[in-house]
């Protein structure tokens, strides 16, 4: 049985007090912090960049699981690495050369993730799976928190988990978007071992972060 990790998305946090929100997540038992970076070009929303990540870095030792929804992505990788990102996840559609972007992240001694949108298939990245640390499967179209989970992606998680098993790949399968206490059971059963959640963690059970993280992990 895989160890399940919870990566709360700060997109649903109070941006006027992000350091305190990160402390709440840490005290609530988060395994890492999911940082949604959006540029208003790759996705129709705009969030934060390297200066904010840099200022948050000193407030926690937790892994910064940075999800780059930006394009072109290659020229910004070093800035995110220098700001304190630990895992840098990019979308294959946002680079001209997937291998080059993977190698750049690795040469900066960071973990590499690739994210698949709901309409993007595993074939797009099958030749790279042995070189990366994580695949982030989107269960919503990226850009906003609070969207509805798309159950059709469960088959993609299962297919990826089978490839991981058959090829003995050391790959985390992370799922992101609309995760709640019901569908978290489904994505774990399908083979995901890292769950991203914003709305459910920050809003459910009157915002009881510890309870929500635990329920996603063990429910
Ligand atoms: C969407 C982001 C997700 C999102 C998750 O583009 O990548 O991380 O913030 O938030 P919820 O859990 O509210 O769907
Ligand atoms: Zn995300």
Pairing outcome for strands 194-197 and 5-8: parallel
Number of domains in the chain: 1
> How far does residue 76's CA lie from ligand 2's centre (Å)?
17
CB of 12 closer than 6 angstroms to any ligand 1 atom? yes
- The pLDDT score that the predictor gives to residue 32 is 98
* Ligand 1 atom nearest residue 177's Cα: 14
Q: How far apart, in whole angstroms, are the C-alpha atoms of residue 183 and residue 205?
A: 17
Domain containing 105 equals 5-218
* Ligand 1 atom nearest residue 197's Cα: 12
Q: For a substitution probing ligand 1, which of 7, 196, 197, 204 has the most ligand atoms within 8 Å of its CB? A: 196
- The pLDDT score that the predictor gives to residue 1 is 72
The CATH number that applies at residue 187 is 3.20.20.70
**pLDDT tens per residue, the chain (219 residues)?**
789 999 999 999 999 999 999 999 999 999 999 999 999 999 999 999 999 999 999 999 999 999 999 999 999 999 999 999 999 999 999 999 999 999 999 999 999 999 999 999 999 999 999 999 999 999 999 999 999 999 999 999 999 999 999 999 999 999 999 999 999 999 999 999 999 999 999 999 999 999 999 999 999
Q: How far apart, in whole angstroms, are the C-alpha atoms of residue 49 and residue 9?
A: 15
> Is residue 105 within 8 Å of 115, Cβ to Cβ?
no
DSSP state of 149: P
């Amino acid at each position: 049985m895989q160890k399940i990790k919870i990566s709360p998305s700060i997109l649903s946090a109070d941006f006027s007090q992000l350091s305190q929100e990160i402390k709440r997540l840490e005290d609530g038992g988060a395994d890492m912090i999911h940082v949604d970076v959006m540029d208003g070009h790759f996705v129709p929303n705009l969030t934060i960049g390297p200066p904010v990540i840099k200022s948050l870095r000193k407030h926690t030792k937790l892994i910064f699981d940075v999800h780059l929804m930006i394009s072109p992505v290659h020229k910004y990788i070093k800035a995110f690495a220098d700001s304190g990102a630990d895992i840098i996840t990019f979308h294959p559609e946002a680079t001209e050369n997937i291998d080059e972007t993977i190698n750049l992240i690795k040469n900066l001694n960071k973990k590499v993730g690739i994210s698949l949108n709901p309409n993007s298939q595993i074939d797009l990245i099958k030749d790279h799976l042995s070189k990366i640390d994580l695949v982030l499967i989107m269960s919503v179209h990226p850009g906003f928190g609070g969207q509805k989970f798309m159950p059709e992606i469960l088959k993609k998680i299962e297919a990826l988990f089978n490839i991981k098993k058959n090829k003995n790949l050391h790959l985390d399968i992370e799922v992101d978007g609309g995760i709640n206490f019901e569908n978290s059971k489904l994505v774990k059963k399908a083979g995901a071992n890292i769950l991203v959640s914003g709305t459910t963690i920050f809003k459910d059970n009157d915002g009881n972060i510890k309870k929500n993280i635990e329920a996603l992990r063990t429910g």
